[in-house]
């Protein structure tokens, strides 16, 4: 079971690096969804760093984690939606639900 999960994650990562900026078929939508779920915890740390650069250390350790948690939950929810609906071309032409150019 553990080896299968690792293999699925590795394949999804490979697909996500090869995928264009938009998912134009079900497999890239599935890979993007898996990556959104897998990388959603990273949003907390990324928000702490970004808030520190923009607003300073105090804001980074108070407001940063809250922003990151909200962004991480949003990314995870979008990823779960994409995984659950990967065979369906919704949004139109498999456009990503979480379209955030500053992420990764």
pTM equals 0.69
Tell me: the pLDDT tens digits for 78-94? 999 999 998 888 777 77
- Mean pLDDT along residues 1-27: 62
Boundaries of every domain in the chain: 2-86
Examine the pLDDT at 38 and tell me if it is beyond 70.
yes
- Mean pLDDT along residues 20-24: 57
- Mean pLDDT along residues 18-27: 64
Q: What is the pLDDT of residue 93?
A: 72
CA dihedral for 74, 38, 59, 98, sign (positive or negative): negative
Q: How far apart are CA 24 and CA 28, in angstroms?
A: 7
């Amino acid at each position: 079971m553990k080896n299968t999960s690792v293999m699925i994650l590795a394949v999804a990562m490979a697909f996500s690096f090869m995928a264009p900026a938009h998912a134009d078929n079900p497999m890239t939508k599935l890979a993007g969804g898996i990556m959104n779920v897998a990388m959603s915890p990273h949003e907390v740390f990324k928000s702490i760093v970004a808030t520190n650069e923009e607003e300073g250390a105090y804001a980074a350790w108070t407001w940063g984690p809250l922003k990151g948690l909200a962004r991480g939950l949003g990314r995870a929810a979008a990823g779960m939606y994409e995984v659950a609906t990967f065979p369906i071309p919704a949004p139109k032409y498999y456009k990503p639900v979480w379209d955030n150019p500053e992420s990764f």
